[in-house]
A and B are shown apart, each in its own frame.
Chain A
Amino acid sequence: MSGDQVAVVLDATALAAYVNGQVAVGELIAEVADEGRQVAVPATCLAAAHAATTGDVGTALLTLLATTPAVTLVPLGADPSVDDARQTGVLARAAGGDIALGHAARTALAHQAHLATADPTAAAVVLPTGWSILDLSQM
């Protein structure tokens, strides 16, 4: 891992798993928090999760999670000195233009962090061979 505190990045499918009450993703977040480290949520993944959820409960849950101190919301294009928007777009090409997945991959690469997802096949396409993908699909 790099020297920063981000241990895990949650993509949009991992956020959907949280909304659906999947225990494994909750235990992952709790473990990272217990270790005094951070879970990163790319803003585009949060937006995609909001778009995919229906009803006020899912929206409220996502808002609650995103404001948890153990969670760091990662913006896109907010810092002119960082080429994150371009990197996200280039990485997203391999995922058929899925900007949220490109942003999740960019965040994982930049922080040298694990990527948690319920769609490991898609994640593997945008990450280097051998990168750590925490598979939530079998839980």
Chain B
Amino acid sequence: MTAKRSISVPDDVAQWLDDQPNVSAAITAAVRAQMAGTHLDEALRRAGIEVTEAGKARWRERLAAPIPPEALAEGQRMLDEAA
């Protein structure tokens, strides 16, 4: 289901939208990203968690480190054996 909305946007936003192949899809993606961020912020705030950029940066490094190929191979073997 979809719904039609008539909105007013600043000139720079209008220009960017004019360059999009599908304006509705572009607006939907932008609004959904905003909704997701708001929801997560609320979930963290209610738990009393204040996120810092330094804290996220520490995890960014850890997340970028790949799982060793031998561990991936062993993991697949374990799943295959257990199936």
Consensus secondary structure, chain A interface: helix
**The one of B46, B65, B71 that contacts A128, using a Cβ cutoff of 8 Å:** B71
Q: A87-B82, A87-B83 are in contact. Are A33 and B59 (CB under 8 A)?
A: no
Is B46 within 8 A of A7, CB to CB? no
Docked pose: A20 CA to B44 CA in angstroms: 11
Q: Check if B79 is an interface residue, CB within 8 A of chain A.
A: yes
**The one of B40, B44, B55, B82 that contacts A86, using a Cβ cutoff of 8 Å:** B82
Docked pose: A67 CA to B79 CA in angstroms: 28
Q: Which chain A residues lie closer than 8 Å to B55 at the CB level?
A: 23-24, 27
The range of chain A's interface size is 35 or more
Q: Which residues of A pack against B, CB within 8 Å?
A: 1, 7-8, 18-19, 21-35, 60-61, 64-65, 67-70, 83, 86-87, 89-91, 106, 108-110, 112, 114, 127-132, 134
A27-B55, A32-B59 given; name 11 further pairs at CB < 8 Å.
A29-B40, A30-B40, A31-B59, A61-B47, A65-B43, A68-B36, A83-B83, A86-B83, A106-B79, A132-B62, A132-B71
Residues of B41-83 at the interface with A, using a CB-CB cut-off of 8 Å, are 42-44, 46-52, 55-56, 58-60, 62-63, 65-68, 70-72, 74-76, 78-79, 81-83
Docked pose: A33 CA to B33 CA in angstroms: 10
Closest residue of chain B to A23 (Cβ to Cβ) is B49
Docked pose: A39 CA to B58 CA in angstroms: 17
Docked pose: A65 CA to B66 CA in angstroms: 26
Is A32 within 8 A of B78, CB to CB? no
The minimal Cβ–Cβ distance linking B2 to chain A, given in whole angstroms, is 19
Is B67 within 8 A of A132, CB to CB? yes
Closest residue of chain B to A90 (Cβ to Cβ) is B82
Is B51 within 8 A of A33, CB to CB? no
Is A26 within 8 A of B67, CB to CB? no
